[in-house]
């Protein structure tokens, strides 16, 4: 366990950073997910998928109600709430792993924590909604801060990315978010070029200078499609390669669609990178 990063408590779960790589399973309740797995607010299907992911070994379930692909149709807070609240309420009664709400809206985050979510995953790194940091602090929950490069560009990519993540850390702490509740995501795919996304995976260990756990979400993303010249439904092996490299380079959480396969990849990668051997009850 890292003495610097310590532990993060999320409801009844304790994440011991450095001990293993945790797997976050994606439940999209959108109608236009880039990955083709959107459940369009179907509560029963969402619960079934989440329960299946937990059975396969997911440590966290991440529920999102708005697509983040660049050409997606924006929705308002009421529509987002309508898609996710029944799913979160149902999941809170059906699964025993932490539930994350994937949103950049403070209003949605606060209501989903009240409905049973335990973590916030903000793809805009607390910068889209000025109230998000205050809500996360007030709810005293872990928050994933994603570096989103849309609308900006960098001259010295990795150092500039680290600087921007540090700004979000400062914003979080300034709002009262506890140090142990901060998780960082370098934001693969969020306004970045193919080359920059590949560089994130290759140089992920450099982000450890920030002394916070790193979440990486490469699953089925377009840079894999460009590298392999494959459509989204054929990116399983490419995703597996990026997950294995991420674990070797120090990822603490990987966010994935194909939970069964990626749990196996993570466990084998942990065996090599961390000398971590999983037992039947892990």
Is-catalytic flag, 255? yes
Catalytic: which of 127, 212, 220, 255? 255
Is-catalytic flag, 267? no
Cβ–Cβ under 8 Å, residues 8 and 181: yes
Structure tokens given for 101 = 């709400």
Contacts 24+ apart (CB under 8 A), 97-100: 97/13, 97/54, 97/58, 97/59, 97/60, 97/61, 98/10, 98/11, 98/13, 98/59, 98/60, 98/61, 99/60, 99/61, 99/63, 100/24, 100/60, 100/61, 100/62, 100/63, 100/144
Catalytic: which of 105, 192, 221, 235? 221
Nearest of 50, 57, 141 to residue 94 by alpha carbon: 50
**Catalytic positions, written as ranges:** 221, 255
């Amino acid at each position: 366990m890292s003495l610097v990063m310590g532990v993060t408590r999320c409801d009844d779960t304790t994440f011991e950073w450095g001990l293993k790589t945790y797997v976050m399973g994606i439940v999209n309740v959108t109608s236009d997910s880039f990955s083709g797995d959107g459940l369009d607010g179907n509560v029963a299907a969402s619960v079934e998928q989440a329960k299946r992911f937990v059975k396969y070994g997911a440590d966290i379930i991440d529920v999102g109600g708005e697509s983040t692909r660049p050409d997606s149709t924006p929705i308002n807070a009421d529509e987002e709430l309508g898609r996710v609240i029944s799913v979160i309420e149902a999941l809170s009664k059906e699964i025993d792993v932490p539930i994350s709400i994937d949103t950049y809206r403070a209003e949605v985050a606060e209501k989903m924590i009240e409905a049973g979510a335990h973590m916030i995953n903000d793809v805009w790194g607390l910068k889209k909604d000025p109230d998000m940091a205050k809500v996360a602090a007030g709810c005293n929950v872990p928050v994933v801060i994603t570096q989103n490069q849309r609308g900006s560009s960098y001259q010295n990519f990795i150092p500039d990315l680290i600087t921007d993540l540090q700004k979000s850390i400062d914003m979080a702490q300034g709002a009262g978010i506890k140090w142990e509740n901060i998780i960082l995501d370098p934001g693969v795919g969020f306004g970045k070029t193919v080359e920059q996304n590949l560089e994130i995976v290759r140089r992920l260990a450099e982000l450890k200078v920030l002394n916070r756990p790193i979440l990486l979400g490469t699953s089925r993303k377009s840079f894999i499609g460009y590298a392999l010249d494959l459509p989204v439904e054929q990116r399983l092996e490419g995703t597996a390669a990026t997950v294995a490299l991420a674990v070797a380079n120090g990822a603490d959480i990987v966010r994935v669609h194909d939970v069964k396969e990626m749990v196996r990849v993570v466990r084998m990668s942990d065996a090599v990178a961390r000398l971590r051997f999983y037992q039947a009850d892990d």
